[in-house]
Amino acid sequence: MGVLLGAPRVPGQAVRPAPDPCRGRGGTRVRGPAPLARRAAAEGLGTATLVAVVVGSGIQATELTRDSGVQLLANSLATVFGLGVLIALLGSVSGAHFNPAVTLAAWFTGRRADDAPTLRDVAVYVPAQIAGAIAGAVLVDAMFGKPLVRFSTHDRFAGHLWLGEVVATAGLVWLICGLARAGRAQLAPLLVASYIGAAYWFTSSTSFANPAVTIGRAFTDTFAGISPASVAPFIAAQLVGAALGLVLVAACFGRPASVTHDRAAAPTRPAEESALTS
């Protein structure tokens, strides 16, 4: 989710409205958006790096200590720092979704807006995110000398964990869209990463909150893994959570106001700096 960062107005210049990542791709760029292939590459690489941070820090933590609390602390801190950096780095290119739930939320809320993500964008972003997540998990296994593809045996098939995923994903979508509606989208790298770090600790599932990352983590039989049998319920819970997050946004902020503005000053579908998570 992006924001217009205090650009001074030239006398006589049309005012460009503050962008809303949950209606379209609001950003700070003056030029049009990057080509779809470049945005998809950014989504794939960003998601791969995010999974590498999550899985790699989990492996490192388990090799350094047997204390499960310290392991989770190390894993969550690495995720917070890595996610914040990735959102700041790639937000202006692709929107830094790294998360199909965020991409779908942005499309759904902006489907009647000219500057919103299109179904074509969704159809390209989501496979790129999933492929990136799998590649990130395989890369980390290679770095730590693990089998390149060994499906996780970490069973997470339980109702209370699914509820944790609903809560984690609802909060993420509520935060991302709410920041945009409140005119605080420039704080996304800090606040989205901070929320994910907190959700590691206050949700029973340790906050996957991301279908692509969930799939990627099934490909590594390590601390951060999830068994393939547990993947589908997690993804279903995340999608329910995303829908609930949109309900929370509507309840707190209402529908976004329609803004009419000068055609020459209007952005042509620039990218937002929304995120995703672990």
The one-letter code for the residue type at 251 is A
| CA distance from start to end of the chain | 17
pLDDT tens digits along 75-87: 999 999 999 999 9
Query: Residue 95, by phi and psi: left (phi above 0), alpha (psi -120 to 50) or beta?
Result: left
pLDDT tens digits along 99-120: 999 999 999 887 766 667 899 9
| pLDDT at residue number 16 | 40
Which pLDDT band, with edges at 50, 70 and 90, does 23 fall under? low
Read off the pTM.
0.83
Mean pLDDT of the chain: 84
Query: Residue 12, by phi and psi: left (phi above 0), alpha (psi -120 to 50) or beta?
Result: left
Given a cut of 50, is residue 96 above it in pLDDT? yes
| pLDDT at residue number 110 | 77
Burial class of 12 by CB neighbour count within 10 A (0 to 12, 13 to 18, 19+): exposed
